Each structure stands twice: as C-alpha cells, then as structure tokens.
Structure 1
Amino acid sequence: MKTYQFRFEQNLPIPLAEAWDFFSSPLNLSKITPAKMNFIITSNFTPDIKMYPGMLISYKVSPVFGIKMNWVTEITHVKEHVYFVDEQRTGPYAIWHHEHHFKEINGGVCMTDILTYAIPFGIIGRLANAILVEKEVKNVFAYRIKAVNDLFGVYKQK
C-alpha cells in the first residue's frame, strides 16, 4: 500500500495557550473545514470538552462529490501545549495519521500539521489519489490556513 505525506506549517499571532485551547476542542473543527464538505460532528460533546488520549470523534462528512460518509477518528496521543495525534478508525482512508504540533515563537505560535494517509483499492486508489484525493487534501489545508488567519489574524514577525 502506498502512503502519502504532507507537512503544512502556519504561524499565528496568538499565545500558545490560546492556540492550544482552540485546536484541542473538537467542536472547533467545523470552523476551519470547508462548508462544501458538510462537516458535522455526531459525537455528543459538551462545549467545554478538550481532547484526551482515547477520545473518539465521529463525524458525517462529504469529502468528494457530495457523498456522505461516516468517519471516526481517535485521539491517540496528547502532550498539552505541544502536540496531539488523530488517527482514523473508520472512514474513507486505508490510513489516516494526523499530527498537530505547536511551538511558541516570537510573537505567536507555529503550528505544524504532518498528515500521512493511504487510499484503499491498490492501483485504483493510487490513481484516485493522483487525480482527485491529493488535490482535495491540499485544498482542505489551504482553506484551513485562510480560515485560521481570518479567525486569529496574520502573523507578522517581530
């Protein structure tokens, strides 16, 4: 099975604690996901919930062609204010491993996402990735960068 990996980095002009507080709440995922994906968290969380190892998050999402899918991820690792990892348990990918790293920088925080994924169905999956999936993954993260900048402002190095 072929795996793919992307690294996305973004600096924000907010304190590390504020970034962690926002990104460690699963309820904020919909704020940084493109509307066309019809992203809905189906887990019954209270507004004050924060991620913890073993947490399962279930969603309904339409990643391509408006086709609705159920997706469940598990938060497998958490080191507060440093990183957390989510891994798909059920959903459209053969593998989905998403690391979220946070590092304090001068005047803000640097967030780094490292995404490793694989598509099922062998050669057909590799073809689907080349034609569609890779582009969609990059579009989702490009949207996320813009949405996060809209929420918190654009980082200007001090």
Structure 2
Amino acid sequence: MKLHRTEFTQKLPISIEKAWDFFSSPLNLAEITPADMTFDVTSPNMENTKMYPGLIITYKVSPLLGIKLDWVTEITHVKDLEYFIDEQRFGPFAFWHHQHHFKPIDSGVLMHDILHYSVGWGPIGNVANAVVVKNKIKGIFDFRYQKVEALFGKP
C-alpha cells in the first residue's frame, strides 16, 4: 500500500476565532466542497456541533462518475483554535488522515492542511492515483481555496 502526502496552505483575512468557528463545523464542509461530489453530511443533529475528539461524521459522496458512496470519518484530535484531525473509518480510501491547522498571523490566519492517503489496491491503486485520484484531490482543494476567498476575502 503506497502512502501519499500532500499539503495545502491558504491565508485568510479573518480572526482565528472566525476561522475556527467556520471550519470546526461539520456542516460547513459541504459548502467548501465541489457540487459535483454531492457531499452530503448524513449524521443527524449536526446543526450546532463543533469538532471534538471521538466525533463520528457520516456522509454520502460521489467522488467519481456520480456513484454515491458512504464515507465515515472520526475526529481523532482537537486543540481549540489550533488544529483538528479527521481519519476515515469507512469509505473510498484504504487510508485517510487529514490534519487541519490554523495559526494566527499578522494579516489574519494561516490555514495549513496535511493529508496522507492511500488508494489501496496495490499497483492498480497506484495507477488510479496517478491518473485520477491525486488530480481529483487537488481539484477539491483548489475549489476550496476559491470558495474560501469568496466567503472571507483575499488576504
């Protein structure tokens, strides 16, 4: 199983509190995910929920060809106003570990994501990653970058 690592960074012209309030709400994940993924949070009673260790979040997602898949993540670590980590428990990846870091800077907040993932399936998965998956992940984060700028402005 080959493990892949990718990182994404974005500056936000908002306070750490405002950034944390938005990104620590599971329901806001759908707002910053491309519509073609049909990313739906299916966990009940999430309206006022913020990230906490042990939180299980269920979704329906369509990462490819409109095929709906179940995705279950667990929030494994949280340090308020600094970071949280989600790990896939069930879903399209053999491995998924996503760190979300937030750091106050002079002009607002530096948001830094570190993602480790594996497609699985041995050599077939490596080809799938090279041809489709890594580009899809990049596209998701590129969309998020643009959406977050539209929501909060440019630094």
Q: Distance in 2 between matches of 1:47 and 1:62?
A: 23
Q: Number of matched residues?
A: 155
In 1: Cα distance, 2:151 partner to 2:123 partner: 40
Q: Superposed, which structure 2 residues align to 1:6-155 within 5 Å?
A: 6-155=6-155
Gaps of 5+ in 2: none
User: Which digits, 9 at most, give the CA deviation of each residue in 1:47-96, with x for residues without a partner?
Assistant: 21101000000000000111110000000000000000000000000100
When normalised by structure 1's length, the TM-score is: 0.97
CA–CA separation in structure 2 for the residues paired with 1:115 and 1:15: 24
Q: Which amino acid aligns with 2:12?
A: L
Shift of 1:120: 1.5
Displaced runs of 4 or more, over 3 A: none
Q: Give the secondary-structure state (helix, strand or coil) at the position aligned to 1:139.
A: helix
Following superposition, the deviation at residue 132 of structure 1 comes to: 0.3
Q: CA RMSD in A?
A: 0.6
1:7-27 per-residue CA deviation (whole Å, 9 max, x = no partner) reads 100000000000000000001
Amino acid at match of 1:62: S
Aligned-residue sequence identity (percent) comes to 56
* Aligned amino acid, residue 24 of structure 1: S
Paired letter, 1:136: K
Q: Is the 8 A contact 2:9 2:110 kept in 1?
A: yes
